């Protein structure tokens, strides 16, 4: 098994997930800036032309970070980062989907359409005029989340999960590329510090 890895928040999610599991995998570095991911032979492995991808020993290639993490959780169930019961897993998946759809995806698109435009304009359809609205939408959703996590250590109560990893990796990226944390969101600020202090955050940076 090997991980096609690169810079960027998506590979970081998988790397942080692996670090929390105490699992290390052979890695092949893909040069995103040079566009290696958008050409053969990498594109034959992941037709979406994105990283990361996990190649299994039988040659099957998994792309998309959430299925990759689900697979890792199944073969390395402890510590559970999705859950140990059907209910725990469903709750973690619910929060992961909330942060993905409401925050991570619009944040990534806002980056592609603004600070990342020079890199992305010839790769994907870019909508520069949407960038500011997407950034505002992300901040609105983070403020919504700030209220929801009042009194909690992590997104799913006192349990550290994939939802925390997903949101942390994107927010840590966003703050470096024109989407800073809003200091008024005190709960999110404290949560960000708490997750950032985990050894897996440094190990995956």
**Site for ligand GSH, rule CB under 6 A:** 6, 8-10, 32, 37-38, 49-51, 63-65, 123
Q: Smallest gap, in angstroms, from Cβ of residue 119 to ligand GSH? A: 7
54: which DSSP letter? Answer: E
Nearest residue to ligand GSH by CB is: 8
Q: Smallest gap, in angstroms, from Cβ of residue 68 to ligand GSH? A: 7
Q: Smallest gap, in angstroms, from Cβ of residue 94 to ligand GSH? A: 18
Rounded CA separation 59/160 (Å): 32
Q: Smallest gap, in angstroms, from Cβ of residue 183 to ligand GSH? A: 26
Cα within 13 Å of Cα(194), Cβ side:
15
Radius of gyration of the chain (CA): 17
- When the beta carbons of 63 and 155 are compared against ligand GSH, the nearer one is 63
- When the beta carbons of 38 and 45 are compared against ligand GSH, the nearer one is 38
Please name the residues in contact with 103: beta carbons below 8 A apart, sequence gap of 6 or more.
138, 141, 142, 145, 167, 170, 171
Q: Smallest gap, in angstroms, from Cβ of residue 100 to ligand GSH? A: 8
Burial of 154 (0-12, 13-18, 19+ CB in 10 A): middle
- When the beta carbons of 14 and 91 are compared against ligand GSH, the nearer one is 14
- When the beta carbons of 123 and 141 are compared against ligand GSH, the nearer one is 123
Rounded CA separation 201/196 (Å): 5
- When the beta carbons of 37 and 96 are compared against ligand GSH, the nearer one is 37
């Amino acid at each position: 098994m090997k991980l096609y890895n690169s810079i960027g928040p998506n590979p970081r999610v998988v790397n942080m997930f692996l670090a929390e599991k105490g699992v290390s995998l052979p890695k092949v570095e893909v040069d995103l800036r040079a566009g290696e991911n958008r050409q053969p032979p990498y594109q034959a492995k992941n037709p979406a032309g994105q990283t990361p991808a996990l190649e299994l020993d039988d040659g099957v290639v998994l792309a998309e970070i959430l299925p990759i993490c689900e697979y890792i959780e199944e073969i390395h169930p402890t510590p559970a980062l999705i859950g140990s019961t059907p209910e725990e897993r469903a709750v973690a998946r619910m929060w992961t989907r909330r942060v993905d759809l409401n925050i991570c995806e619009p944040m990534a698109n806002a980056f592609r359409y603004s600070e990342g435009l020079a890199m992305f304009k010839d790769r994907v359809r870019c909508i520069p005029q949407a960038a500011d609205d997407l950034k505002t939408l992300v901040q609105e959703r983070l403020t919504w989340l700030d209220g929801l996590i009042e009194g909690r250590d992590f997104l799913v109560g006192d349990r550290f999960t994939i939802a925390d990893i997903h949101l942390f990796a994107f927010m840590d990226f966003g703050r470096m590329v024109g989407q800073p944390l809003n200091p008024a969101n005190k709960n999110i600020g404290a949560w960000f510090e708490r997750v950032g202090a985990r050894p897996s955050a440094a190990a995956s940076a």
